[in-house]
Structure 1
Amino acid sequence: MYKAKPKNLLELTKTDAKKWLNSFDTILTDCDGVLWHEGVAIDGVPEAIGLLKSYGKEVYFVTNNGIKTRHDIWKVATAIGYDIPETRIIAPIHNIVQYLQARDFRKKVYIIGAEAIRCELTEAGIESFGPGPDILQGKLNDYIAQQVVSQQRDEVGAVIVGFDEHFTFAKMLKACNYLGSNADCLFMTTNTDSVHRYPGCRIPGTGALLTALETSVGRAALQFGKPNPEICVELMKSGKVVPGRTLMIGDVCKVDILFGHICGFQTLLVGTGPNSQYELNELLQNPSENQRYIPDLYVPSLGDITKLI
C-alpha cells in the first residue's frame, strides 16, 4: 500500500497525537523555511522547538546551506531564539572540512562557491582559492594559455562546488581542468539542490551549476548535504540517532522528505517553505510513483505543534 496523502498533524485525535509524540526520541529539522525565513524566526516555531525539548526530545538542525559556515548558522539560530549547541548543527561546509581533515589533506582547494567555504577551510589550516568574480578576459586561447595551462594543476587536490552567484565559463574551465588532469583530485559539493523556487522567481541552485561540471568531467561529485544519508551516519553508528525513533522535519519533499525516507526516519512536512504546498500537490498527482517524496505527516507550520501538545 502507498500513501495517497499525508495526514494533517492537526487533525489527529488527542490519543493519536500522544502516540505520535511518544514514537520518536530524536528530531532532525531543516532550517530555512522550517525554523526561519531570511534570518527571521517563523512565528511560534522557537516555542514549539522548546516544547518538544521539554518532552525530552533531542534536537539537531540539518541544513543544506552552502553559503554560511556552521558557526554563522549557529549565530543566526541563537540570535532569534533557538537554544542549540553549535555541535548540534549539521552543515555541508563543516562536513566537507571534516572529510578533508580525516584524510590529512595537504593540497590546495579550488572553490566554485561562497567566501564562507574559504573561511572554514582557512580555520582548518587548508589553503584554498576561487570565491568571487572571475570573468574570461580576451580570447579563449590566450586565457587558456595564461590561466589554465600555466597553472600548477597538481597542487590542487580538491574542487568544491557550492552556490555561486559569480558562476562563469572561466570558473567551469578551471575546475574542469583541475579535475580532468588529476584523477585523484577530489570532487565535492555542498548539495545538489537544483532550483530555489519563490513566488516571484526561480533561482538556479548548486545542483544546476554542478550538473554542467559533472557533464564536462565525466564523474559525479561527492555530496555533503541532504538527501545523502552519509551526513548523519556517525550519529547513527554512535546510537545518538536511532532511525525508527527519529523524526525528520522539512519543507522540501525532494530533499528533506527523501532524506528522511532514505535514512528510515519518520517524516513531517511543514507548509512554511516557499514551495512546500505546491510541490506536495504536484507529487500527489501521481502518488504511486512518488512515495519516496511524500511525507508521513503534514502541518501548516511547525509552530502549530503548540496547539497539538
Structure 2
Amino acid sequence: MNAEFIEALEEIEKEKGISKDVIFDALEAALVSGYKKNFGSSQNVEVNIDREMGTVKVFAKKTVKEVVEDSFLDISLDEAKRIDDKYQIGDIIMIEVTPKNFGRIAAQTAKQVVMQKIKEAEREVVFNEFAGRENEIVTGLIQRISKNIIYVDLGKTEGVLPPSEQIEGETYNQGDRLKLYILEVKKTTKGPQIILSRSHPGLVRRLFELEVPEIHDGIVDIYGISREAGSRTKIAVFSKDPDVDPVGACVGFKGSRVKAIVNELNGEKIDIIIWSKNVGEFISNSLSPSKVLKVEVNEKEKSALVIVPDYQLSLAIGKEGQNARLAAKLTNWKIDIKSEKQYEEGKKE
C-alpha cells in the first residue's frame, strides 16, 4: 500500500463519511487473520499500518521468560537482552516478522475491507434515514411479488409489504405505485429491513394530513381512528377554531379531499365524525350514518345503551356488526344498541 491508497481513503472519508481510522482498524484486524492463515496461526501477532505512508509491518508479540515453553509466544531472557539490555522477565517484546510478499496480501485484503466498510456505511445511512421516518407515509413502486410478500422500491432501498399488512381484496401488480405506511425499520445482517403497511390505521391518518391543510396546520385534530382495512374506517375529528367546521374541512369542496383518500384506498368507505367531550354525544356521532334517539351512559362500567329508531337498527349495527364494532373501537366504550320498540318492551318488563 502507498500514498495513493491513503489519498483514496481520504476521498472515501469525504464522500461516504467513513473515518480513515475505522478502515485502518478494520484492515489491521483483517491482516492479522490473513497473516495467521498464510504464515502460521500459532503466533501472537500485531499489524501496524503507517497512517501517513501506508506501509504495513507485522510484529510478533513475545513474552520474556526464563524457560521458553512455546517459541512462537515466548523468548528467553538472554535472547531478549541481545535485542535490548533493558528487557526483564515478564516484558512483552514486539519483533518484526513482516514477510517479503506480504504487500500483495495487504493490497487484496485492503480492497475487501474498504468495499465492506463502504457497504456498511451505505446501509447505516439508509437505516438512519428510514428509522427517523417510522410512522410516516412513503410512495413506492412494486418491484416484485414472491410468496405473497410484496417488495417495494423506495429509491435508496427496498421495503417489504408482508401479507399481514396488505389490504384484504386489494390487487397488487408489478409496477404499481402505492402510498404506504412505514411500520418498522429493523437492523439486519443484510442491511436495514423496512416493514411497510397498507392496512394500518396510521396510513389513513397520514393521508388526511396530506390532503387536509387544516389538519397539517394543527387547526383540525384527529382524535382517533378505527379501521377495518379495505372495508370501512371511522375517523373522529375536532376543530380548535370555532369558525372551522372539522368535517367540512376533511370532506373538502364537493368531497374532493375525502374522495382522493378513498381512491388511494381503492374505495374503502370513510365515516368522518365530530369528537365531543360529552361522551353520550360522541357515542351518538360515532354510530353515523345511523340516527340516534337516546344514549344512556354507565361511567363506572364504561358502557352505553344506545336507542335508535326501529327502521335504523340494522343500519346502526351495520353489516355483520361492523358499524357498532368500529364505533366501540373508536370511542373505547362498550356499546349496546336497541331499537325504540325493544327499549320500550324492556322497560315494561
- Per the normalisation by structure 1, the TM-score is 0.22
Query: In terms of Rg, which structure is larger?
Result: 2
